A and B are shown apart, each in its own frame.
Chain A
Amino acid sequence: MNTTATLGTDNMAMAAVKKPTEGTDVSPFELAAEHATVGSFEVENAKMSIKNVNVYYGDKQAIFDVSVDIGKNEVIAMIGPSGCGKSTFLRALNRMNDTVDGCRVEGDIRMDGQDLYSPKLDVVELRARVGMVFQKPNPFPKSIYDNVAYGPKIHGLADTRVDLDEIVERSLRRASLWDEVKDRLYQAGTGLSGGQQQRLCIARAIAVSPEVILMDEPCSALDPIATARIEELIEELSQNFTIAIVTHSMQQAARVSQRTAYFHLGQLIEVNPTEQVFTMPEHALTESYITGRFG
């Protein structure tokens, strides 16, 4: 794993002031080629701070010089066309890319100031602190109880059975699943409906008290009602957790997030408050994408 030192602040400043000039004839594609992220990519109260990150799969570069902060207790949505690198970027945040052969991450990713790519860092512990929820609900082939209890057990978060029971109940309640499963905790998690399975995965993720939850298209396999429940849950969870969500649904991004980041061909084009992105995006490429003008 390659990790390079943080680049000087000069580069950051340059990226910050480069904005598409109104009335110029510069095409949006040329602007994108200049690596100019527009908008407010730095926040005051940053939980995670990502600076000049490049990700490669072998020779192929997937992420180009991305810098962005993720604020504490913020929900940040990442949108962009397929293959734009938003999932790759998300997976770099808890080193899920470590498991991919030939994948290389350069740059600086920090949580509360701690370098997440430091060789001294315990990756297992990191993934407890930065939990992840995937596109397809993937409960373990175990009981509902064991699905949630697994994490706290292996991380030694519960000393007694009573403690563990309490963690399981609290996590299921936070994931708005408790009332639906409290009478069948020892039945298989895989027997639940798709929406319930996804909430079970969220309960499993929050059982180890993570600080950040990464969600990679958590609703794309769910119907609108199940989606609405997850979205409501995201809103509630954001009071205690920092959430980064990748979504293909722009309406979802508009509904759940405070800031939206638009990725295009591996570059972070724009990060801005969500209400601005969906009414008055700063970059022409963002505008084209959210108004449905992309091939």
Chain B
Amino acid sequence: MTKLTFENHIVTQFDGELEEIRTRLMEMGGKVEQQLQNAIKSVAEIDSAMAEQVIRQERQVDEMERDIDEACILIIARRQPAATDLRLIMMVSKAVNDLERIGDEAKKIANHAIILAEQDGPSKGYTEVRHLGKSVISMLANALDAFARFDVEAAMRTLNEDQQIDLDYKTALRELVTYMMEDPRSIGRVINILWVIRSLERVGDHAKNLCEQIVFVVKGKDIRHQTHVARHDH
């Protein structure tokens, strides 16, 4: 394979259409990244106003998903894309779904932020949220960067960050269970924190999907549901 390009079609409008869905996917990625950042911040800084803003943004993200998906369907109907063009369109259509789900998780986190802000009690679990939140945001940002440059190496590196996130998630779970055992009065609060870190772990999974889709666009290889070792054989 030579360098991946989505330009130089005989029909130049086709170039424009592919560029358009790429740009819009990046916009959506940026929006979702910001939404997630704010959601984590609203938990960590007990900021209900910010949480409500995150919830409101959800509708915009849904609309973006629908619009980009529509654009993809239109290109398929109009241009009958093949090879890299087809793979890009399929990827974008799947990626918007993953981004929308990340948006959903951000909204769930924001909902818990509001509940947590209304409850009194010791602020247990915030360190875990901050720590996991930082890793997850970094992973999502890396995945979007890799998409912008169609960088398979970066996508593979980012993909493996999910293992660390899963590990941190398990560690955080154990600590939260300890808090609940130490002080049963904290159970209500800690369960909310637990849902937050569960959402963060899910975001990691969606970011991983994005990375797999980048590999699919560039290499034409489907690396979903493979073990770590098998992935590296490619």
Cβ-defined contact, A292 with B84, below 8 A? no
Q: Which B residues touch A28, using CB under 8 A?
A: 2
Contact B10 A292 (CB under 8 A): yes
Q: Does B188 count as interface, using CB distance less than 8 angstroms?
A: no
Q: In the complex, what distance in Å separates the CA atom of A250 from the CA atom of B79?
A: 12
Give Cα distance in the complex from A250 to B81, angstroms.
11
| CB pair A22 B1 closer than 8 Å | yes
The 7 closest A-B pairs by CB, nearest first: A280-B220, A290-B82, A284-B2, A278-B82, A293-B8, A291-B85, A292-B9
Most B CB within 10 A of own CB, among A254, A278, A291, A292: A291
B80 contacts chain A at the CB level, 8 A cutoff: yes
**28 pairs, CB–CB < 8 Å, chain A vs chain B:** A20-B1, A28-B2, A250-B80, A250-B82, A254-B82, A278-B86, A279-B87, A279-B220, A280-B83, A280-B87, A280-B220, A281-B83, A284-B2, A287-B1, A287-B84, A290-B82, A290-B83, A291-B9, A291-B82, A291-B83, A291-B84, A291-B85, A292-B9, A292-B10, A292-B14, A293-B9, A293-B10, A295-B10
> Are B83 and A284 within 8 A (Cβ)?
no
Please tell me if B229 contacts chain A, counting CB pairs below 8 Å: no
Interface SS, B side: loop
Chain B contributes a number of interface residues (CB within 8 A of A) equal to 17
- How distant is B92 from chain A, measured CB to nearest CB, in Å? 16
Interface pair B80/A251, CB less than 8 Å apart: yes
A residues engaging B (CB < 8 A)? 20, 22, 28, 250-251, 254, 278-281, 284, 287, 290-295
Which residues of chain A come closer than 8 Å to B77, judged between CB atoms?
none
> A-contacting residues of B (Cβ < 8 Å)?
1-2, 8-11, 14, 79-87, 220
Which of A22, A278, A295 is close to B83, meaning CB atoms less than 8 Å apart? A278
Residue from B2, B8, B86 within 8 A of A279 (CB atoms)? B86
Chain B residues lying within 8 Å of A251, measured Cβ to Cβ, are 80
Q: How far is the CB of B18 from chain A (nearest CB, A)?
A: 10
Which residue of the partner chain A has the closest CB to B86?
A279
Q: How far is the CB of B89 from chain A (nearest CB, A)?
A: 11
Residues of A contacting B11 in the complex (Cβ-Cβ under 8 angstroms): 292
A292: which B residues are within 8 A, CB to CB?
A: 9-11, 14, 79
A250 CB to nearest B CB, Å:
7
The CA-CA distance from A278 to B10 in the complex, in Å, is: 18
Q: Tell me whether A294 and B86 are in contact in the complex, defined as CB-CB below 8 angstroms, given that A284-B1, A284-B2 are known contacts.
A: no
Contact with B82, one of A279, A284, A294 (Cβ below 8 angstroms): A279
Residue of B nearest to A290 (CB): B82
CA A234 to CA B176, docked complex, whole Å: 65
- The complex places the Cα of A287 from the Cα of B79 at a distance, in Å, of 15
Q: Say how far B77's CB is from chain A's closest CB, in angstroms.
A: 13
A161 to B1 alpha-carbon distance, docked (Å): 60
Minimum C-beta distance from A260 to chain B (A)? 11
Bound Cα distance A280, B220 (Å)? 6
- How far, in angstroms, from A111 to B11 measured CA to CA in the complex? 42
CB nearest neighbor in A for B15:
A293
Given A279-B86, A279-B87, A279-B220, do A291 and B81 touch, yes or no (CB 8 Å)?
Answer: yes
| Chain B residue nearest to A285 in the complex (CB) | B2
Contacts of A293 in B (CB 8 A): 8-10
Interfacial chain A residues near B80, Cβ < 8 Å:
250-251
